[in-house]
Amino acid sequence: MLEALADGPATAGELAALLPIARPGVSRHLRVLREAGLVEVRQEAQRRVYSLSPQPLTEIDDWLSRYLARWEHRFDALHTEIARGKRDQRRT
């Protein structure tokens, strides 16, 4: 849902058309995201239009970046071990 909103603001109906979730599920997800501060909503006539709230997402990105280097190192090591295991299987 956040990826869909990254393309621009959308209504719950527009999001439901893009996602494999029924409209009530989309509305529940949007409520949770709104309560978490990750999306904002504005009223346009009879429609509610949802958009990303950039500040909390920036804070999440900043927090995650501290761990990214450690994870990348571990994923590189995992990739090496998987490749080694595949190579050993081919030899047998």
List C-alpha distances in Å: 41 to 29, 33, 45.
13, 10, 13
Torsion angle (degrees, nearest 10) of CA 47, 11, 41, 56: 180
pLDDT tens-digit readout, 21-51: 899 999 999 999 999 999 999 999 999 999 9
The C-alpha atoms of residue 16 and residue 1 are separated, in whole angstroms, by 9
Q: How are strands ordered across the β-sheet holding 39-44?
A: 10-11, 47-52, 39-44
At 7-23, the pLDDT tens digits run 999 999 999 999 998 99
May I ask the CATH class of domain 2-52? mainly alpha
What are residue 20's phi and psi, to 5 degrees?
-85, 45
Please report which confidence band the pLDDT of residue 71 belongs to, taking 50, 70 and 90 as the band edges: confident
| All structural domains of the chain with their residue ranges | 2-52, 54-92
